[in-house]
C-alpha cells in the first residue's frame, strides 16, 4: 500500500502546512487485513521540503509505474503550483524519475491510469485551473500525453479512481459529499449514479465521518474501497493537540446490484485478495 502522509502530530504547523512536506508511506500485508509499516518510498525528485501526494501505482510488462502529485515546497494555503510526475521501479521501494507529465496546466494532481483495450493508456486527474476539474488524457507510451478535456462536467471533485468491474468501467471520486460514482461502457462517456457512497458517518469507532479520497482494489469478482476518515466528533481526543488532523484508512467491500454500486461501512468486511490483484493491468 502506498499512501499520502500528513504531519498531523507535528507542532508549529499552522494553516495547511501540516499537509505539506511529506513523503509517500509504504505498508505491507500478506492478506490485505493486517498491515505493517515499511517506511517511505525512495523518490529522487525535487528538494527536501517537496510535498508528495496521491500516488497511483500499477505494473506493466515487469516494471512498476507510479504517477505522483508534487507540490514544490511547504505552503500555508492551497494556492501553490502542482504537477504530476512519472516514476518507475523494479522493487516497489526504489524509484527512478522518468519525467514530468505535460498536461498543459500548472495545477494538476490525483492521477489514475488504466490501459485501454487497444493498448493505449488513459489518465484521469484533477485540473485546478478549470471549474470542471476532472480531466483526462491519452498516451501510447506513458511518456507523451494528449489532453482530451473534461471527463466529468456535472460537479467538482478530486481523487478520481477508474477501474473495471462487472463488465463496466467505473469512476469513484471524492466529491466532498461522500464518494461520487460514475459508470461507462468504454471509459469515455460517463453516467452519474444518483447516490453517493459513504456520505453518512459510520457507527464504528474511527469511522464516524464522511469517507474521502478512495482507492479501489479489484480481486476476482470482488472489489474493495480503501478510503480515509477524519478523526472528529466522537473520535476526537481533546487531550491530544490537533487530534482532528489525524486520519484513519478504512476498507469496505463494494456491492453491485441493479447497475449500481453500494456499500455498508457498518457491516463487517472480510478481505480476500488474490496475489498482485491491486496492481495488475490487463494487456
163-197 tens-digit pLDDT: 999 999 999 999 999 999 999 999 999 999 999 99
Mean pLDDT, residues 200-215 taken together: 96
Is the pLDDT at 279 greater than 60, yes or no?
A: no
pTM for this model (two decimals):
0.94
pLDDT tens for 197-207 read 999 999 999 99
Is the pLDDT at 115 greater than 90, yes or no?
A: yes
Domains of the chain: 2-262 (2.115.10.20)
pLDDT of residue 166: 95
pLDDT of residue 96: 97
| Mean of all residue pLDDT scores within the chain | 94
Please state whether 186 falls in left (phi above 0), alpha (psi between -120 and 50) or beta: alpha
Inter-CA distances, 122 with 67, 137, 187, 259, 282, Å = 12, 6, 9, 24, 13
Q: Within 10 Å of residue 135's Cβ, how many Cβ atoms?
A: 23
Cα dihedral: 104, 109, 115, 116 (round 10)? -60
Contact of 158 with 110, CB cutoff 8 Å? yes
Is the pLDDT at 139 greater than 70, yes or no?
A: yes
pLDDT of residue 278: 47
Amino acid at each position: 500500500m502506498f499512501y499520502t502522509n500528513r504531519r498531523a502530530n507535528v507542532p508549529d504547523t499552522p494553516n495547511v502546512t501540516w499537509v505539506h512536506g511529506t513523503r509517500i508511506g509504504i505498508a505491507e500485508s500478506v492478506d490485505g487485513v493486517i498491515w505493517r509499516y515499511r517506511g517511505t518510498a525512495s523518490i529522487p525528485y525535487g528538494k527536501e521540503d517537496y510535498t508528495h501526494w496521491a500516488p497511483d501505482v500499477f505494473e506493466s510488462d515487469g516494471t512498476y509505474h507510479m504517477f505522483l502529485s508534487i507540490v514544490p515546497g511547504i505552503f500555508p494555503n492551497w494556492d501553490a503550483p502542482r504537477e504530476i510526475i512519472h516514476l518507475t521501479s523494479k522493487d516497489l521501494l526504489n524509484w527512478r524519475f522518468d519525467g514530468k507529465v505535460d498536461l498543459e496546466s500548472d495545477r494538476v494532481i490525483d492521477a489514475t491510469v488504466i490501459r485501454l483495450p487497444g493498448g493505449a493508456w488513459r489518465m484521469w486527474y484533477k485540473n485546478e485551473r478549470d471549474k470542471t476539474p476532472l480531466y483526462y488524457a491519452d498516451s501510447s507510451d506513458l511518456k507523451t500525453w494528449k489532453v482530451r478535456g473534461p471527463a466529468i462536467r456535472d460537479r467538482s471533485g478530486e481523487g478520481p479512481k477508474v477501474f473495471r468491474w462487472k463488465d463496466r468501467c467505473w469512476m469513484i471520486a471524492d466529491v466532498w459529499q461522500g464518494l461520487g460514482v460514475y459508470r461507462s461502457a468504454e471509459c469515455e462517456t460517463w453516467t452519474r449514479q444518483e447516490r453517493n457512497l459513504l456520505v453518512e458517518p459510520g457507527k464504528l469507532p474511527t469511522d464516524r465521518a464522511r469517507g474521502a479520497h478512495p482507492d479501489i482494489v479489484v480481486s476476482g469478482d470482488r472489489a474493495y474501497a480503501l478510503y480515509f476518515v477524519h478523526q472528529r466528533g466522537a473520535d476526537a481526543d481533546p487531550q491530544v493537540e490537533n487530534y482532528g488532523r489525524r486520519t484513519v484508512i478504512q476498507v469496505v467491500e463494494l456491492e453491485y446490484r441493479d447497475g449500481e454500486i453500494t456499500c455498508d461501512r457498518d457491516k463487517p468486511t472480510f478481505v480476500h485478495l488474490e496475489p498482485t490483484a491491486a496492481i495488475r493491468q490487463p494487456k
